[in-house]
Amino acid sequence: MVSKVLCGNVYGLTAQIVAVEADVQSGLPGFEMGGSLSSEVREARERVRVALKNSGFAIRPQHVTINISPANTPKGGTAFDLAIAVGTLAANGLVEEAGLEESLIMGELSLDGSIHAVRGILPCIVKAKEMGLKRCIVPYDNAFEGAVIDGIDVYGAVSLKNVADFLNGKADSLEKVSHVDYANIAKAALKEEHSDKENIDFADVCGQESAVRASMIAAAGGHNILYMGAPGSGKTMMAKRIAGILPGLSLKESLEVSEIYSIAGLLDNTAGLITRPPYRSPHHTITLKALIGGGKVPNPGEITLANRGVLFLDELTEFKTATLDAMRQPLEDGRVTLSRCSNTYVFPAHFMLVAAMNPCKCGFYPDKNRCTCTESEVKRYKARISRPLMDRFDLCIYVSTVKYNDFSDSDKGKKGRTDTEDIRRRVAAARQIQHDRGILNAELTKEEIKEYCRLGNAEKALLEKVFEKLSLTARGYYKILKVARTIADMEESRSITERHIKEAVTYRV
């Protein structure tokens, strides 16, 4: 007798609904599995056999054949265990088949029959809904991932026995997840972030008005920003605060980000979804594979985990040149393409690149009293970052060393300095203007720049002068316009004025 159970499969970042077919025959006992399975999936055989026994199901020795179709997509992970066990039970007539064709069943089994969390539940629930399935039975520890998905019932399961009872009509064997509005999750997450304000408030950044302003512009337009400055000048501190001033994610963005985190096994189940822009800060020893994404069936790298958020690279010059240069295309396209055998995987990588570096080896250039480097050493140090990568930064800001006065100011209280709440409001207002226009300033194409960054004659003349004086590349020229657009948006000014351009130019030095 053959039974069929629907299960979710994730390869790359793609979720698909697959059918786990189970056939049992009397005869020589055995357990065969097929359908482009990784060794991890094949190990399900032992887990399922023992879990069935320990859950109290008396199954006579028999020959079991499992096929997971379609066979042409690679299958990995442990999420098929539960579906294989249920399929085996159904083929033996121990579980009713009615309802199986409209249920997604996923989970890893432990030898005692309990069900463990797996990766990729969220995208599979979304896919199941798209396919018109009625309900999902998933590990209890993952069930909350489905809480915002409307129109499909999600049940959390703790043991194989409970699942079998449920399928046999005991409706109260599994707990149904109650639906939660996205707005409520987002509100709770923001509240939690604010309670953490001590750690992320710009008010803690002393005496760096111009750098704080640059950070605000970067966040408002989604621009890549590079901080240069001596050790201890607070550049890392500022970079870390950028994610905190970005507006929250829309439901669509949140699902995109949360699906990636669900697949990477990084989604915090108590929160359900990620509602704030992600912040990733890999160490400079990171491999190219971990940054860009890699593996036989590729896993998302840091640039994809930072999608719709911030990727912070501290001590930029310490990263391997090849690793950094691999980011150039994704920075341009907002996605990364990875080719494996016959498959091509495209991962989103819409992130804001925030980086920090010392201006020279000793860190004190251009302070002639403290810098011990020669001019050529300074040049060589900066050359560690290739020109094309340098060109990807819309803003470059020199962070000066904090003076004593700035520190003593902070003792008088945080009055007078810009705080995060105020910055966040201004960033959100500028973002709203861009939202209405339909595109983020950092992502404007040449054609869109022509449309949205129109200049008067005086502005044109100014920019021409700058172009020659700084011997700008075409890319550099457009970056100035994009940043000027953001500065104008922050002032709710429709036109870009000379003042906006002048300020934008200061961030290109």
Sites of contact with Zn ion (CB under 5 A): 360, 362, 365, 371, 373
Separation of alpha carbons 471 and 392, rounded Å: 16
**Local structure of residue 110 (DSSP, 8 states):** P
Cβ neighbours of residue 72 closer than 8 Å, sequence gap 6 or more: 36
Q: Are strands 225-229 and 135-139 parallel, antiparallel or unpaired?
A: unpaired
In the bound state with Zn ion, the residue whose beta carbon lies nearer, of 191 and 370, is 370
CA–CA distance from 450 to each of 170, 444, 482 (Å)?
Answer: 65, 9, 11
* Least CB distance to Zn ion at residue 359 (A): 7
In the bound state with Zn ion, the residue whose beta carbon lies nearer, of 155 and 365, is 365
Q: H helices within 246-287, ranges in order? A: 251-264
* Least CB distance to Zn ion at residue 401 (A): 13
In the bound state with Zn ion, the residue whose beta carbon lies nearer, of 68 and 371, is 371
Residue among 241, 306, 310, 317 at smallest CA distance from 284: 317
Separation of alpha carbons 246 and 240, rounded Å: 12
In the bound state with Zn ion, the residue whose beta carbon lies nearer, of 125 and 360, is 360
**Local structure of residue 159 (DSSP, 8 states):** B
Query: What is the helix (H) or strand (E) element at residue 207, kind and residue range?
Result: none
Q: Which pair of tokens denotes residue 189?
A: 């997450």
* Least CB distance to Zn ion at residue 144 (A): 52
* Least CB distance to Zn ion at residue 285 (A): 23
Cis amide prior to 278 (ω within 30 degrees): no
**Are 472 and 464 a contacting pair, CB within 8 Å?**
no
In the bound state with Zn ion, the residue whose beta carbon lies nearer, of 109 and 360, is 360
Residue among 2, 43, 47 at smallest CA distance from 25: 2
In the bound state with Zn ion, the residue whose beta carbon lies nearer, of 176 and 380, is 380
> What string of DSSP letters covers 166-187?
HHTT-GGGSEEPPP--HHHHHH
Measured over the CA atoms of residue 367, residue 369, residue 375 and residue 379, the dihedral's sign is negative
Residue among 64, 37, 34 at smallest CA distance from 48: 64
In the bound state with Zn ion, the residue whose beta carbon lies nearer, of 136 and 371, is 371
In the bound state with Zn ion, the residue whose beta carbon lies nearer, of 117 and 360, is 360
In the bound state with Zn ion, the residue whose beta carbon lies nearer, of 30 and 366, is 366
Phi and psi at residue 184, to the nearest 5°: -70, -40
* Least CB distance to Zn ion at residue 250 (A): 45
* Least CB distance to Zn ion at residue 480 (A): 29
Separation of alpha carbons 121 and 105, rounded Å: 10
* Least CB distance to Zn ion at residue 383 (A): 15
**Are 396 and 354 a contacting pair, CB within 8 Å?**
no
* Least CB distance to Zn ion at residue 376 (A): 12
CA–CA distance from 34 to each of 38, 343, 359, 455 (Å)?
Answer: 10, 20, 57, 64
* Least CB distance to Zn ion at residue 365 (A): 4
Separation of alpha carbons 502 and 366, rounded Å: 23
**Are 312 and 279 a contacting pair, CB within 8 Å?**
yes
* Least CB distance to Zn ion at residue 206 (A): 23
In the bound state with Zn ion, the residue whose beta carbon lies nearer, of 231 and 456, is 231
* Least CB distance to Zn ion at residue 379 (A): 11
In the bound state with Zn ion, the residue whose beta carbon lies nearer, of 284 and 382, is 382
Q: Bridge partners of 156?
A: 138, 175
